[in-house]
Homo-oligomer: A and B are copies of this chain.
């Protein structure tokens, strides 16, 4: 968390609209992928520079320009000039600390989302900011922080002409991308759900301080996810309500579906939070239980042996006149009494359910 803040504080004092890349340091050359398609045809190509985009645009087809990197501020700026995008929009694109939002610039729609997916090395959740510009009815520009995304299935559908994507406009493409991102949240949840289940068993069978830290870690993850998803819900809701004319009635019905999913996502996060809170209660009560157990052992030992030690101490005294000491059966009797006390103690503990 403090990471995002550190990034944001870098910008304090700069003129608004000044492009400053705020995010993890990267040096890789930004990949520009372009994908144009209409009902009958499609072109795909990887461009060397932003200015190469323009020839693709003036066609009847839908064009999707995807940048896999936003750390080259100059390139973003050139792109912005070419498509006549507002400087504040570009500023938001290169600032990875954004929360999900939608800004309506009348001629184009700007959407910021958080893309989550599981890294190669399993168990690790990758966060990436994805900005989307829906430019009129024919062009979508998407900006990612780095290579690797959740859009392969969309690309496949475009290439193979499967489904209705090739017959629809840019708004449908934008919808498809948002839908992919939201659908991938469930994969993340599957992973987290498994971690929670493991922790749940651990917290019951063998609670350790590390368990508590893992619970707290997941709680923090949930806080982060909630921050990503709550505003997303509003974004999709605004799209469904048709606040922008760039999204056609037709596509809005599909977005209603995405909206249902975002609500499921929110619900799931709340459920996870409740489960984690419950686990904390179990953890704390299991600490008390362990203490109880320790104390019982101590009490049992002490309660049995302290009185017996006292008796032994009595007959270790050096009083001149102690008639028991002289009697021949004293010692065997001593043992008999002790063993009787010992057994009745055990019975008593048994009845108290301490043993």
Contacts and interface: CB of A to CB of B under 8 A. Distances in A.
A283 B285 contact: yes
Contact of A12 (B186, B263, B271): B186
A343 interface: no
A341 to B, nearest CB: 12
Interface in A273-328: 274-275, 278, 280-292, 294-299, 301-303, 305-310, 312-322, 324-328
A5 B186 contact: yes
B271 A1 contact: yes
A267 B152 CA distance: 32
Given A2-B190, A163-B16, A260-B101, A212 B315 contact: no
A93 to B, nearest CB: 13
A343 B200 CA distance: 35
Contacts of A327: 320
Interface stretch (A29-37, A40-48, A60-68, A219-227): A219-227
B313 A103 contact: no
A5 B306 contact: no
A320 B286 CA distance: 51
Contacts of A318: 315-318, 322, 325
A150 interface: yes
Given A183-B11, A281-B280, A209 B286 contact: yes
A18 interface: yes
Q: Which size class do A's interface residues fall under?
A: 35 or more
A44 to B, nearest CB: 18
A274 B227 CA distance: 12
Contacts of A336: none
Copies in the assembly, this chain: 5
Interface stretch (A70-78, A127-135, A139-147, A191-199): A191-199
A285 B316 contact: no
Interface in A199-224: 204, 206, 209, 212-213, 216, 219-220, 223-224
A268 interface: yes
Contacts of A346: none
Given A2-B193, A97-B264, A284-B288, 17 more contacts: A5-B190, A8-B183, A9-B187, A12-B187, A13-B180, A14-B153, A17-B163, A206-B353, A216-B282, A219-B274, A223-B271, A224-B271, A287-B292, A294-B295, A316-B317, A317-B318, A320-B326
3 shortest interchain CB distances as A-B pairs: A13-B153, A2-B193, A15-B163
28 contacts: A5-B186, A6-B190, A6-B193, A12-B187, A13-B150, A15-B163, A16-B254, A18-B163, A209-B289, A216-B281, A219-B274, A219-B278, A220-B274, A220-B275, A220-B278, A227-B267, A281-B284, A288-B291, A294-B295, A294-B299, A294-B354, A298-B302, A302-B306, A313-B313, A316-B317, A320-B326, A320-B330, A321-B329
